[in-house]
Structure 1
């Protein structure tokens, strides 16, 4: 390999899957050097690291992994644990790099090569690092959302069942309160025993059990978030659940070098779509959509209950008379991304340098 002597940097792009991880090594110009496929078990990950160390001997090594944490989490944690530098590559960047490549089609090696080249084209990608608290919060919030979806589906089935038995039994309010569920249980128990009634009672019991699990998870989230995020929780519209989601999806605010980098990650950075001296911007559909959803909810809440947010929204609208209402909302979300970035930075600093308690 004569060209190997001129290589000053090697990027290992990885296309992760449940049954295998495919890695492709490229040099600093994006030229393919080698490829390797391994199983995602400890032995396979060890062989992958040995292969990469041989390819990148004497050079800088960067690992670029397609952002699929459900299948790549163990891989990334193993690499970071050995001191490797790892970046997450959003799927949209990988797809764009693949579309611009000479090799047509789609395969694991093609995708891995696109991941590596996307990392080269985007040097500002946030570096992954181990953050157990963020991981715990993400797991807990994901589990809570899963249970909420299950409870909502059960409530919908219950309402249809109640309507079938007796429309008068279907209460107008929410069916999440334990007292309301207890009243409904009493009313159903008083009816003549039938299969339909018994199955409806089972639904009520299921909803109550799901509600108990959701409440327990919310208590756990509160215990984790409250001590570490006072500045984030001080923002109007940020509840404990929202704060947990933001911290978990951010996965370490120190990964982002600036508010602009964080805005790009949240999908609130505006995308220019103009020429001839007429500035215009369109909706950014990229970034972390979970964080973008959090910012949207906070923005809606602040517009209803926070005068400074309404003033910002109104002032922006006055200075952009031809902009749409949605554009003004996007501007507020971009502003909130800055606020949330600084709040998390302040919380991180407080954790690193806690203030002593007064005597």
Structure 2
């Protein structure tokens, strides 16, 4: 089997072919343009038994990785940190060049057995894009509301309520009668911010509708879990992708940052909070845990039992999150086994 490591850049990519012993067979630099895929495949055609390893296949290498996967090639994603470690362990030390980087990517792929296989983008990719866009819109909405609060505080005695909405802000502004030119300027700016707030609210509603529509195509059962709506389900599916890339429930829990880290020393055994992992998935699981700890059901029973064992509310919530990671994993695994791959 020939392993072809690819070091991608914006304007070019460098490919290095290694045989099974790690011996370098050939190097090729290809300009990134409309003919990149054809040129690369023409060069690689001499090795029928081959697989490609792309550094950052979810980032800068997404373009070529998707073209290769769409063409039926065997492609794996090599994280940049893993390729950097392989380069440091090589005989060249820390010397850095595009061919050396591509060779390091290939070496990492040969030595690491659990790299993520690159598959053609599908509805889960769309859900991730929609989730990221919703996070951007939610952040923008918070910024607009904060600026609007500042202006209304100076225009209205006592300011605006904390649960400010576009309709409430509009009603407040209708009653403002500026006494100075400066207050008139504040009112005009507040009206501009109100228009921005209405625009963002419309975009958030459209985003949620599109997420629900895309989620329906996947036929996911995640929404059967209490506390999981279309937005949370879309975020989970978008960030997980192929659930089979996690060999066990424990691997998935580690990826979501819900499994506690062992911090034992000598005879003292303890665990500490895990702040690593995918923070977007961790946030989604936190949202589910908050809902289940609040509302009647098995989740609240488990939460109260942990409280009774002497755990703090935060510790009990983290224990519930760990259990919920198992529940989510099982739903995703069953859903993926039940349906064929959904094409966009």
Query: Residue 21 of structure 1 aligns to a residue in which SS?
Result: strand
Partner of 1:201: 191
> Structure 1 residues 272 and 97, CA, compared in 2 at 3 Å: closer, same or farther?
farther
Cα distance in 1 between the residues matched to 2:272 and 2:84: 21
Partner of 2:64: 75
> Structure 1 residues 18 and 263, CA, compared in 2 at 3 Å: closer, same or farther?
farther
Determine if contact 2:166/2:194 at 8 Å carries over to the other structure: no
Cα distance in 1 between the residues matched to 2:259 and 2:3: 27
Cα distance in 1 between the residues matched to 2:265 and 2:23: 34
From 128, 136, 144, give the equivalent of 1:138: 128
Cα distance in 2 between the residues matched to 1:91 and 1:331: 32
From 137, 140, 147, give the equivalent of 1:157: 147
From 323, 332, 348, give the equivalent of 2:336: 348
Partner of 1:181: 169
Partner of 1:336: 324
TM-score of the superposition, structure 1-length normalised? Answer: 0.78
Determine if contact 1:15/1:65 at 8 Å carries over to the other structure: yes
Query: Residue 60 of structure 2 aligns to a residue in which SS?
Result: helix
Say what the alpha-carbon RMSD is for the aligned residues: 3.4
Partner of 1:39: 31
Partner of 2:17: 25
Determine if contact 1:233/1:239 at 8 Å carries over to the other structure: yes
What is the 5 A alignment of 1:267-346? Answer: 267-268=257-258, 272=262, 284=274, 286-305=276-295, 307-312=297-302, 331-346=319-334
Determine if contact 1:236/1:306 at 8 Å carries over to the other structure: no
From 8, 33, 41, give the equivalent of 1:16: 8
Aligned residues: 337
Partner of 2:76: 87
> Structure 1 residues 47 and 325, CA, compared in 2 at 3 Å: closer, same or farther?
farther
Deviations 1:65-87 (A, max 9, x none): 23353433322221111111222
Cα distance in 2 between the residues matched to 1:32 and 1:325: 56
Determine if contact 1:126/1:256 at 8 Å carries over to the other structure: no
Query: Residue 83 of structure 1 aligns to a residue in which SS?
Result: coil
Partner of 1:64: 53
Partner of 2:241: 251
Displacement, 1:310? 4.9
Displacement, 1:143? 1.6
> Structure 1 residues 292 and 13, CA, compared in 2 at 3 Å: closer, same or farther?
farther
Of 278-287 and 254-263, more deviation after overlay is shown by: 278-287
Cα distance in 2 between the residues matched to 1:306 and 1:110: 58
Determine if contact 1:266/1:288 at 8 Å carries over to the other structure: yes
Partner of 1:220: 210
Cα distance in 2 between the residues matched to 1:327 and 1:24: 49
Deviations 1:297-338 (A, max 9, x none): 32343333365335546767999x9x9987765554343222
Note if 1:125 corresponds to 2:115.
yes
Determine if contact 2:128/2:238 at 8 Å carries over to the other structure: yes
Note if 1:168 corresponds to 2:130.
no
